[in-house]
Amino acid sequence: MKVLVSEKDRDVALGLLNRATWVATSRIAYVECRAALSRAKREGRLDARGERLAAQLLDQSWRGIVVVEVDEVLTRRAADLTRRHPLRAADAIHLASAELMAENEPGEIVFACWDRRLWESAAALGFAVAPA
């Protein structure tokens, strides 16, 4: 969301994306972004044109993102994370997605988020976290 509209820490998010070799997220991130854009329009932070342009940017960007599908394995893993960490359901899905990516990709994975509980949980699991 931070790269789609002008908001606090947008430059930080853009910097992380520009330095990344690849970007991955859970399938639910698309719905979360569209919901956030709709909310921004309802609250007057975006007009109809701004929402439409941001949605188009999301669609263009989405093609270059590795998408982790929400399936039985991921769902069970996310549910287990909620027992060990103070996570909301969607945040647990994002963190479980990162765990699956880490198992299948060599090298360090940077977990970027702006939610303190999710950030702390990712750090506790050994992820490099951003922003610092």
Strands (E), the chain: 24-26, 66-68, 110-112, 128-130
Mean pLDDT of the residues in the chain: 93
Largest Cα–Cα separation, the chain? 43
C-alpha to C-alpha distances, 56 to 4, 52, 111, 113, nearest whole angstrom: 9, 6, 25, 22
**Would you kindly state where each structural domain of the chain is located, as residue ranges?**
10-130
Dihedral over alpha carbons 124, 125, 127, 131 (to 10 degrees): -30
* pLDDT attached to residue 2: 67
State the pLDDT confidence band at 111, using cuts at 50, 70 and 90. Answer: very high
Beta bridge partners of 112: 130
* pLDDT attached to residue 28: 97
Span 10-130 CATH architecture: 3-Layer(aba) Sandwich (3.40)
Question: What are 50-87's pLDDT values in tens digits?
Answer: 999 999 999 999 999 999 999 999 999 999 999 999 99
